[in-house]
Amino acid sequence: MSISAQQIASVLGTQKDLGRKVRSHHDLESIVASGLPRTALDRVIGRLESATNGSLSELKFKVVPRATYQRSDRLSLQPSETVERLARLYTMALEAFEDNEAAAQFMMTEHPELENRTPFVTGLTELGGRMVEEVIARGMHGLPA
């Protein structure tokens, strides 16, 4: 499954939010390396809120400590990479389910192939993100675990 940089960028924010137009994965990598705006994290969490009965605002503090979030408008490299990864996983789920709410529900529901963790929590690490990508790909192709 090929997800474009533009699809991921649209989850992270507008051209104005990101500071430049995203035409390629190189552009996206450059923006992530220089630090995503804090609003990118807010936008990703906002996409996932439709899958729950309550606010997910506390989830952002799994990505970046509360004090860091409150004092800085830009994220450092590691949280920026995590936010991009979560946006990519959500975008992949959106491609698979073709529905915003279903993609958000997938991201926030425990999955047996992820040791009953949610794709969101699993995707907080690079290796976990790869595991989530595999689950999505197998689901799209009807392959067993």
All structural domains of the chain with their residue ranges: 5-141
**What's the whole-model pTM score?**
0.93
What is the distance between the alpha carbons of residues 25 and 117, in angstroms, rounded to a whole number? 29
Task: Give CA–CA dist 21/9, Å, rounded.
Answer: 9
Burial class, 32, CB count within 10 angstroms (exposed 0-12 / middle 13-18 / buried 19+): buried
Two tokens, residue 138: 């197998």
Tens place of pLDDT for every residue, the chain, 145 residues? 689 999 999 999 999 999 999 999 999 999 999 999 999 999 999 999 877 766 787 889 999 999 999 999 999 999 999 999 999 999 999 999 999 999 999 999 999 999 999 999 999 999 999 999 999 998 876 655 5
